[in-house]
Amino acid sequence: MFCSKKKSLEVERIVKANDREYNEKFQYADNRIHTSKYNILTFLPINLFEQFQRVANAYFLFLLILQLIPEISSLTWFTTIVPLVLVITMTAVKDATDDYFRHKSDNQVNNRLSEVLIDSKLQNEKWMNVKVGDIVKLENNQFVAADLLLLSSSEPHGLCYIETAELDGETNLKVRHALSVTSELGADFSRLAKFDGPDTKLMQNSGKTKFKRTSIDRLMNTLVLWIFGFLVCLGIILAIGNSIWENQVGNQFRTFLFWNEGEKNSVFSGFLTFWSYIIILNTVVPISLYVSMEVIRLGHSYFINWDRKMYYSGKSTPAEARTTTLNEELGQIEYVFSDKTGTLTQNIMTFKKCSINGKIYGEVHDDVSQKTDITKKNEPVDFSVNPQADTTFQFSDHHLMESVKLGDSKVYEFLRLLALCHTVMSEENSAGQLIYQVQSPDEGALVTAARNLGFIFKSRTPETITVEELGTLVTYQLLAFLDFNNIRKRMSVIVRNPEGQIKLYSKGADTILFEKLHPSNEDLLTLTTNHLSEFAGEGLRTLAIAYRDLDDKYFKEWHKMLEDASTLMDERDERIAGLYEEIERDLMLLGATAVEDKLQEGVIETIASLSLANIKIWVLTGDKQETAINIGYACNMLTDDMNDVFIIAGNTAVEVREELRKAKENLFGQNRSSSNGHVVFEKQQLELDSVVEETITGDYALIINGHSLAHALESDVKNDLLELACMCKTVVCCRVTPLQKAQVVELVKNYRNAVTLAIGDGANDVSMIKSAHIGIGISGQEGLQAVLASDYSFAQFRYLQRLLLVHGRWSYFRMCKFLCYFFYKNFAFTLVHFWFGFFCGFSAQTVYDQWFITLFNIVYTSLPVLAMGIFDQDVSDQNSMDYPQLYEPGQLNLLFNKRKFFICMAHGIYTSLALFFIPYGAFYNVAGEDGQHIADYQSFAVTMATSLVIVVSVQIALDTSYWTVINHVFIWGSVATYFSILFTMHSNGIFGIFPNQFPFVGNAQHSLTQKCIWLVILLTTVASVVPVVVVRFLKMDLCPTLSDQIRQRQKAQKKTRPLRSRRPQTRRSSSRRSGYAFAHQEGYGELITSGKNMRAKNPPLTSGLEKTLYNSTSWIENFCKKTTDTVSSFSQDKTVKL
């Protein structure tokens, strides 16, 4: 037995089943899952190698090497090695813990047990030891950790049902069948392992996860490059200065500053000085910057994990920041791409309302005769009298139950139809409870509704349907099954009841069904149409319901024609479709159903709030257009107030282009249409658009389906699409493949330079989650693929609001403040050396003590700015949620950008000037209080260091807007630490031990007792800080930001009305709109009538099985044709259900 499969690398794979020796020749990968990177031995070398690949670390290593050259070394080696070792150790520890958890999870998967046929015996084997070619026996509800080929199963015809929750998040069961050759082999359910370990379909598809970086990161890279350029410039200036100095002054200074002439000249000296200054000035971008950023992000991630307001008690799932490096990006989101099912909706369908024979049920009428939605005060109907009732079903209108009791024949017919016309399979569980296996949740809702109202679908065979009608078992003969498809948009069954009457029951889209009605239905039609509009207006998914009485003779003729048609070789489908059309006419309208595709809690509010925050939400769904539109209305993303809703549903590139062009014309008016569609003017056009965008008034929406999207994503139309889509308030893409989801995200990401966020719950969202800047997985569901690929996960869509508006905004705000301060601080700290260069013969003499340089960034000033970066808040979380407009600065990149950077830099330069020239002026030829000279190098250094620490501490105190205990401790503590370390290092004791390392002995005691020095420090501090205070004060008075205003109000503790904050409108429109939506897959009708999915031990009541067995191959072919997945491919971690 051979099996082969085409792969990109290996053309085919030849496997002998159950022959390990033979298969070993090919050296296929084993089935061990390796996601870990290191083991104990390789950890150190690999990790160090990886770490030094990072530019920053390599740069600091380079600096360290420079410092070891005595001619260049202007700083002792420990100034660099201490922070570098600290950083490398911290990263290594983090990597090690990460890898430890990966090892743990790998082991968990690898050690799961499976039954493998070895030496003609079934043996328990760990999944990691399963080899290619092994035959595996699986039982019900087992996990699968390899790609398998189904050989046979205990089900008839080699069928098996699998759940692919871990792949795509869908919990429906999918049918797979064995190859017909192997299906008869045995009753035991066994499979052949085909691809193992890293070769599995899942591992192959998961691809390399792209390393995501935030836009701040990218900006930082640019800035760091600029800073290096700036450094080099400074270095060159100082090097030239040094050459000139050595030439003019130093040359004559040889009496005192001897060097061997001839060996060195002034140019060479300048060259060495250049490197020396590079070492000294490198503190502009200290290593601690990168570490601090990581620490801050980690802190923010913990706050996300800890947030109880993002904890879903229903599934006891807290929010989780799975990536700790992207937090501030959450504060800059412009586009949200959302999946529908499982994300916006709960994937739960509930039977909400119905209209039977012109009467509406499921609605409560007030005295004012104003219709309101079902509210809690209305007791739900008690179904306990019905022992078969599904307890989870709730319905609030007692009228319907009463009508059932009164015996309204139309109501009976309606419910009978719901119980008969569907593709649901029933089974009884161990407790004797009736369980429905549904392949479309809509149908499930309808059948369950009928069940609770007394029309219980009990069981089916290929030929019959048994229904318990108000306590009596009735078996209907299933004569024909007119299956659903996307063109027909309806399904029908033809049954013969025990009385011998033949009836056609049909349900489907109102627009389609209403055309098929008998003329006598006119009045009812108007009434029902109104009801349908009402249902649709509430965002419910509607179906129209109708029946037709058929007479025996007519049916027999028709049936004969159908049988003839199905044996035809050509045009078979067309003929059958025609016959279906033919019998589905003159229908009698019964009414309509309205099923609610239940939205997740708080979706509407969240969407409204995010829209106010200027975040555009695009829905990308695999669902069909109607469903997607429906949800759009249900979420208030689409409203009838919209000026226009463009629907792009063309099937060819030309059509799509034309539709896009028309939509744009509509949007801009005719005058601009001439230039549309030309890629040549792309650039100007995009610029123009941004202008036009401002002038577009009114709300537009764009709905585009997968087919059109494929054409629209082609390069020449892409811009039109983007342009149009970005001007619409709402964009809904339906019927899109996972790849298209990613393409749409990429499109916006690349051409709009906007920060994107993708949120989804299934494996079909993985690609989009991975390609968006931020990917969010909905957790707490069975499928984990989305969560595993995501950067953040939480259980409910509504938490997105808090994640973005509170955590994201704060993170961005804090990170920006942190960066501004950090650059300011280090410019102030470092540039003093530059000014000093002009007074020390450009000799790369440092202004400060070496120890101060070592400790300044990692000890004296690190904690206060970290505390600000982690804890600062401008406005409270509640206000952040109440005023979504506060989010805008993040989107517009206002808090940290190149301009801000230059401001920080200028601020730093100003401070460094004040720091250097005030002591310079004050120390010039000045004696101290005791008459001893004060302008010695060491006192100068101590004065400047102390001024610097005080100035930057005062500055951080000004910047901190939220002083928690921690901030107090860190800020005061840092200043205190500075002084205690200063006095320790200048103490006699430590000098006695290391005289060469601590030459500043006695300096602190001597200098810091001089009034003059304190006067200098005070003056320096005030002179550096006053301009900042003035600018901030004037800014707050002249052009206060929204955040300033809210802070003031917050301070005033006044309860004010929300500022420009419009609450979402709760009113829903009720214009005529078809709410038809039906999540149904074609092909199930045939499956049912063939009986393939029914167990043999459920003996058919009639002898239909033989007949259907006869054409068993044909339905399998059809089924294969209609299902998009490859039949035999399985991937890791699906639950198998038998």
Min separation Cβ 610 and another protein, Å: 21
Instruction: State yes or no: residue 818 binds another protein (CB under 8 A).
Output: no
Min separation Cβ 149 and another protein, Å: 22
Contact 528, 610 (CB under 8 A): no
Instruction: State yes or no: residue 266 binds another protein (CB under 8 A).
Output: no
Sign of CA dihedral 457, 459, 462, 463: negative
Under 8 Å CB-to-CB from 795, ≥6 apart: which residues? 312, 314, 315, 317, 319, 778, 779, 780
| Touching another protein, residues 781-810 (CB under 8 A) | 784, 787-788, 793, 810
Q: Which residue has the tokens 């160090």?
A: 48
Nearer to another protein, 57 or 793 (CB): 793
Instruction: State yes or no: residue 1055 binds another protein (CB under 8 A).
Output: no
If 0-12 CB within 10 Å is exposed, 13-18 middle and 19+ buried, where does residue 1010 land? Answer: middle
Nearer to another protein, 303 or 481 (CB): 303
* 541 labeled part of a ligand binding site: yes
Catalytic residue of the set 147, 196, 307, 339: 339
Both tokens of residue 951?
């100035």
**Sole binder of another protein in the list 934, 951, 1008, 1094 (CB under 8 A):** 934
Instruction: State yes or no: residue 927 binds another protein (CB under 8 A).
Output: yes
**Sole binder of another protein in the list 505, 940, 1084, 1119 (CB under 8 A):** 940
Contact 558, 583 (CB under 8 A): yes
Q: How far is CA 412 from the centre of its chain?
A: 47
Instruction: State yes or no: residue 313 binds another protein (CB under 8 A).
Output: yes
One-letter amino acid identity for 766?
V
Min separation Cβ 479 and another protein, Å: 47
* 484 labeled part of a ligand binding site: yes
Min separation Cβ 920 and another protein, Å: 7
* 483 labeled part of a ligand binding site: no
Nearer to another protein, 193 or 787 (CB): 787
Number of residues in contact with another protein under rule CB under 8 A: 109
* 515 labeled part of a ligand binding site: no
Dihedral of the CA atoms 443, 449, 452, 453 (nearest 10)? -130
Instruction: State yes or no: residue 1110 binds another protein (CB under 8 A).
Output: no
* 382 labeled part of a ligand binding site: no
* 575 labeled part of a ligand binding site: no
Sign of CA dihedral 619, 623, 626, 630: negative
Contact 339, 776 (CB under 8 A): no
Instruction: State yes or no: residue 256 binds another protein (CB under 8 A).
Output: yes
Among the listed residues 241, 244, 256, the one whose alpha carbon sits nearest the alpha carbon of residue 833: 241
Contact 818, 869 (CB under 8 A): yes
**Sole binder of another protein in the list 6, 1051, 1062, 1067 (CB under 8 A):** 1051
* 946 labeled part of a ligand binding site: no
| Touching another protein, residues 1010-1039 (CB under 8 A) | 1010-1012, 1015-1016, 1019, 1022-1023, 1026, 1029-1030, 1032-1034, 1036-1038
Instruction: State yes or no: residue 78 binds another protein (CB under 8 A).
Output: no
d(CA 622, CA 807): 30
Q: Which residue has the tokens 């990006």?
A: 329
Min separation Cβ 933 and another protein, Å: 5
* 668 labeled part of a ligand binding site: no
* 621 labeled part of a ligand binding site: yes
| Touching another protein, residues 138-177 (CB under 8 A) | 166
If you count them, how many residues does the chain have?
1138
End-to-end CA separation in angstroms for the chain: 25
Both tokens of residue 395?
């319905």
Instruction: State yes or no: residue 844 binds another protein (CB under 8 A).
Output: yes
99 assigned to active site: no
Under 8 Å CB-to-CB from 1011, ≥6 apart: which residues? 929
Q: Where are the beta strands (DSSP E) in 9-131?
A: 113-118, 121-126
Nearer to another protein, 794 or 978 (CB): 794
| Touching another protein, residues 90-149 (CB under 8 A) | 104-105, 108-109
**Alpha helices (H) in 696-840, listed in sequence order:** 706-712, 715-727, 738-752, 766-771, 785-789, 799-802, 809-837
* 764 labeled part of a ligand binding site: yes
Under 8 Å CB-to-CB from 802, ≥6 apart: which residues? 307, 309, 310, 877, 881
**Sole binder of another protein in the list 176, 191, 194, 322 (CB under 8 A):** 322
d(CA 117, CA 144): 16
Q: Could you say which DSSP state residue 1064 is in?
A: P
Instruction: State yes or no: residue 839 binds another protein (CB under 8 A).
Output: yes
Min separation Cβ 686 and another protein, Å: 38
| Touching another protein, residues 545-574 (CB under 8 A) | none
Instruction: State yes or no: residue 840 binds another protein (CB under 8 A).
Output: yes
d(CA 281, CA 1130): 59
Min separation Cβ 637 and another protein, Å: 28
Min separation Cβ 875 and another protein, Å: 9
Instruction: State yes or no: residue 8 binds another protein (CB under 8 A).
Output: no
Min separation Cβ 140 and another protein, Å: 19
- The answer for 1082, left when phi > 0, alpha when psi is -120 to 50, beta otherwise, is beta
Only segment of 256-264, 481-489, 510-518, 972-980 that touches another protein (CB under 8 A): 256-264
Under 8 Å CB-to-CB from 370, ≥6 apart: which residues? none
Instruction: State yes or no: residue 938 binds another protein (CB under 8 A).
Output: yes
Min separation Cβ 1062 and another protein, Å: 16
Min separation Cβ 1014 and another protein, Å: 10
**Sole binder of another protein in the list 316, 472, 753, 1124 (CB under 8 A):** 316
| Touching another protein, residues 947-966 (CB under 8 A) | 961-966
Only segment of 52-60, 346-354, 459-467, 987-995 that touches another protein (CB under 8 A): 987-995
* 1124 labeled part of a ligand binding site: no
Nearer to another protein, 340 or 1006 (CB): 1006
**Sole binder of another protein in the list 164, 593, 939, 947 (CB under 8 A):** 939
Instruction: State yes or no: residue 933 binds another protein (CB under 8 A).
Output: yes
**Sole binder of another protein in the list 50, 894, 991, 1081 (CB under 8 A):** 991
Sheet holding 190-195, edge to edge: 121-126, 113-118, 135-137, 190-195, 147-152
CA angle 978, 984, 990 (to 5 degrees): 145
Contact 293, 866 (CB under 8 A): no
Instruction: State yes or no: residue 205 binds another protein (CB under 8 A).
Output: no
If 0-12 CB within 10 Å is exposed, 13-18 middle and 19+ buried, where does residue 339 land? Answer: buried
* 632 labeled part of a ligand binding site: no
| Touching another protein, residues 965-984 (CB under 8 A) | 965-967
Instruction: State yes or no: residue 456 binds another protein (CB under 8 A).
Output: no
> How many Cα atoms occupy the beta-carbon half-sphere of 347 within 13 Å?
22
**Sole binder of another protein in the list 311, 852, 860, 901 (CB under 8 A):** 311
Nearer to another protein, 437 or 1010 (CB): 1010
If 0-12 CB within 10 Å is exposed, 13-18 middle and 19+ buried, where does residue 406 land? Answer: exposed
Nearer to another protein, 222 or 932 (CB): 932
Nearer to another protein, 762 or 841 (CB): 841
* 872 labeled part of a ligand binding site: no
How many other β-carbons are positioned within 10 Å of the β-carbon of residue 142?
19
Sheet holding 490-496, edge to edge: 359-361, 345-356, 588-599, 541-550, 502-508, 490-496, 472-482, 464-469, 455-460
Instruction: State yes or no: residue 270 binds another protein (CB under 8 A).
Output: no
Active site residues: 339
Question: Which residues are documented as binding site for ATP?
Answer: 339-341, 443, 484, 507, 541, 621-623, 735, 741, 764-765
Question: Which residues are documented as binding site for Mg(2+)?
Answer: 339, 341, 761, 765
